[in-house]
A and B are shown apart, each in its own frame.
Chain A
Amino acid sequence: MLNLPLSKTKTHAAVPLRILNDAMTAPSHPASASPNAAPSAPLSSDQGAKAEASLLRAEGISKRFGERTVLDGVSFAVEPGQIVTLIGPNGAGKTTLVRIALGLIDADSGHIQRRPGLRLGYMPQALHIDPTLPLTVRRFLALAQRRAAASSDEKPEARETQTSIDDTLAQLKVSHLADAQIGGLSGGELQRVLLARALLRKPHLLVLDEPAQGVDIAGQAELYALIDSIADSQGCGVLMISHDLHLVMSSTDEVICLNHHVCCHGKPESVSTDPAYLSLFGAGATDSLAVYTHHHTHEHDIHGNVVGDVTAEDGDTESHSHEGCPH
């Protein structure tokens, strides 16, 4: 288990890269060592440009499905230890972007650069287990550590696997579900089990597609806090899709507002009470909850998934008059 010496704060992204890099190349994460760097001490202490490699870098990603342009020249990066949140209306291309980033589908143009040896943990939007497939939580989680999943040199012994499954379940407070059938879990329980599967890989980058889906309101904040503390204790970067803007803002380093293209992106510490932002996301997003400057010259329909009465005042479907977009 990797315990980072640094604590996660709003200024996390600004923490000197040396610390982050040292943490990410600690012995327990051998695969995270930089691609072509000799694993010698002098090199890793003398941080060169290679050590600052982003976990994931997307450049100019475009994707069409038939006549529909889903993504148009999208670029972003996830740095080590950073939590990046993708927000945007339904159909904005968030899931498509994440699937391209994971290598599950190919982009039409642009390219994805993953740090060599990058271990990914992926929590998909929904999990449908065919009712004909009997599967206990424990068996499901054990799949995370099968041959292909475990990196070559650290295939865990059976007992070790068992312990880490138990540990991870305990960490997520779902130990009691170990022998339950996956098909019988509630929404919130299932999300935690999926998160456990992703975490068991000891990922360098955790990719979460609407992690709080199907979780009740009280459980959502708790789940996000959990993700935050886990990312912190494991030292992994997080790329997350969320509709629950007001809930994730406080634990996010970088927010990317996506609607086929990157409308805007920013750091939550540059808190703002931008009128455009407020009109888009409602008054509930103010107060101590982090808000970032949001220079919208156009409005997007959020389909009621964010807060309060957004759809009521912003009911028109996505108007694609993007002439004033401040990219």
Chain B
Amino acid sequence: MALLTTDFILYALAAGLALALVAGPLGSFIVWRRMAYFGDTLAHSALLGIAIGLLTDSNPQLSIIVSCLLFAFILTVLDKTSSVSTDTLLGILAHSSLALGIVVLALADSVRVNLEAYLFGALLTISTQDLLWVLGVAVLVGIVLYRWWDEFIAATVHPDIAAVEGSNVDRLNSLLVLLIALTIAVSMKIVGVLLITSLLIIPAASARLLAATPEQMALRASLIGCAAVVVGLFVAFAIDVPVGPSIVVCAAALFLLLSAFKRA
């Protein structure tokens, strides 16, 4: 396994596993609350953040995070006030912000960026700083989810009962959106804006087939995600294909396998 002696492989593995671990529980919430499209929109809009960050010459990771949080806020407000249905609203915003991001990037002659890296991820080229961002956010998300786990579950199962029992449901919802936005922002380098949502929801959807409680589903989603990352990385090397898509394909394959077994 000379493969594993190289630093960039270790970096890729560490970043991928950290993301997969938090993607389990976080992705479960996205599935339970039917927020897949919401996550997708956030991810698409992140490209606009990248473009603006490059143009203004600011820290790219920071500008992605700021734009993700900003978009999360805008989406939440629009969702409450707009007369357009949520999925239409998300559809408009997702693709217009993605298109705008690409246009802005193309117009900025001063900067030549590898668009493909942002769209599909470039796990093998992540820097130490990138890795630290992923690890930091993963730890933060993990701590918040662990600390308020029952609260999040209660607010997801029945917001009204949770509120009557003393939970601040609005604050919990905002906190969850914040965690999702943060996670999406730092996982851009790993799987890219087009594939992030799949890394969040495919392991969770697979784990649903194996779980009787929310906790089982969240933990098993983490394990399935980790397996997809490891196998995906290995396959990417073995047959020389892009890592991000390879991980997503592995996750999808696991989902299909589990579905088939479940049905059999």
> A interface vs B, CB < 8 Å?
99, 102-104, 120-122, 124, 127, 129-130, 132-136, 139-140, 143-144, 146-149, 181, 197, 201, 207
Q: Which of B157, B162, B165, B168 has the most CB of A within 10 A?
A: B165
A-B contact pairs, 7 of them (CB 8 A): A129-B157, A130-B32, A133-B217, A134-B212, A148-B162, A148-B168, A201-B165
* Interface contact A148-B212, CB-CB below 8 Å: no
| A124 nearest CB neighbor, chain B only | B160
Per the bound structure, the CA–CA distance linking A299 and B216 in Å amounts to 54
Cβ distance B150 to chain A, nearest Cβ, rounded Å: 4
Q: Which of B161, B162, B167, B217 has the most CB of A within 10 A?
A: B161
* Interface contact A139-B214, CB-CB below 8 Å: yes
Additional pairs, 19, CB under 8 Å, beyond known A134-B214, A143-B154, A147-B150: A103-B164, A104-B163, A120-B165, A130-B33, A130-B34, A132-B31, A133-B157, A133-B217, A134-B211, A134-B217, A135-B213, A136-B213, A139-B213, A139-B214, A143-B162, A146-B151, A148-B166, A148-B168, A149-B166
In the A-B complex, the 7 residue pairs with the smallest Cβ-Cβ separation, listed nearest first, are A146-B150, A149-B165, A122-B164, A148-B166, A133-B32, A134-B211, A143-B154
* Interface contact A124-B157, CB-CB below 8 Å: no
Per the bound structure, the CA–CA distance linking A132 and B31 in Å amounts to 7
* Interface contact A181-B164, CB-CB below 8 Å: no
| B148 nearest CB neighbor, chain A only | A147
Residue from B154, B164, B165, B208 in contact with A134 in the complex, judged by beta carbons closer than 8 Å: B208
- Residues in A with CB closer than 8 Å to B17 are none
- Residues in B with CB closer than 8 Å to A140 are 157
* Interface contact B164-A136, CB-CB below 8 Å: no
Does chain A have a CB within 8 A of B205? yes
| A209 nearest CB neighbor, chain B only | B160
Per the bound structure, the CA–CA distance linking A149 and B148 in Å amounts to 12
Interface size class, chain B: 20 to 34
- Residues in A with CB closer than 8 Å to B236 are none
* Interface contact A181-B153, CB-CB below 8 Å: no
Does chain A have a CB within 8 A of B96? no
Residue from A121, A129, A134, A146 in contact with B213 in the complex, judged by beta carbons closer than 8 Å: A134
Does chain A have a CB within 8 A of B262? no
Per the bound structure, the CA–CA distance linking A140 and B161 in Å amounts to 11
| A102 nearest CB neighbor, chain B only | B164
* Interface contact A134-B216, CB-CB below 8 Å: yes
- Residues in A with CB closer than 8 Å to B208 are 132, 134
Which residues of B, 16-53, contact A by the 8 Å Cβ criterion? Answer: 31-34
Does chain A have a CB within 8 A of B112? no
- Residues in B with CB closer than 8 Å to A197 are 161
- Residues in B with CB closer than 8 Å to A143 are 150, 153-154, 157, 162
